[in-house]
Each structure stands twice: as structure tokens, then as C-alpha cells.
Amino acid sequence: MEQAYRPRHSDEEYLREEWWEDRDVDLRQRTLRMVTTRKPHGCVGNGHGEQHELPSGSRALYESCLYDGEWVQCWLCCRCMDAWLDFINGRAAPSPQEEG
């Protein structure tokens, strides 16, 4: 059984980042929070990897909003957020052994 991923940042750090800042759309009634998933969800990825499934019990950023007039919700896992933070800060991602 694969060991659960341990986030490398606090919830506050993840929430402070603007993950989709290039959106030129009308966002309304936006909710953004860190959650522990109760069932599997698809991770929207961060543009630097394949979209994948989040197993139940995963920590993730959850967003729901009215997006161009349609209700949407999405999840972004901590592994993808950590990879993006490493990329924008010029750091290499840790090896699986370093992740624990």
C-alpha cells in the first residue's frame, strides 16, 4: 500500500497562493479552502503533470465558484501544489525517499 503524501507547506501557505491567476473569466461566489477528501476526486493538476485521481483521505485545495455562469468545483492535491511551488521558486522536486 502506498504511503500517504505528506504536504510540505501549511494550509495557510497553500491558500495564500493564487493557483489560477491567469483566468480572464467572471468568477463569482468563490469558495476556497483546504480539505481532507472523504471520497476519491480528480485532481485538476497544475499544468506540470497529468491529471490524476486523489484517493479518499488526501489533503487538497477545494474550490467552488460560479465560473462564466456555470457552477464548478475542483480539487488540487498537495503534491501538485508542492511541485508548482518548487518550480516557481527554482527548486528541484524531492526524490520519493525524501518525501517519506
Domain ranges of the chain: 11-16+23-90
Q: What's the pLDDT at 59?
A: 94
Whether 20 has a pLDDT exceeding 50, the answer reads yes
Q: Is the pLDDT of residue 82 over 70?
A: yes
Predicted confidence band of residue 21 (pLDDT cuts 50, 70, 90): low
Per-residue pLDDT tens for 25-67? 667 788 899 999 999 999 988 655 567 899 999 999 999 988 8
pTM, to two decimals: 0.76
Report the 10 Å Cβ neighbour count for 42: 12
How far apart CA 28 and CA 67 sit, in angstroms, is: 7
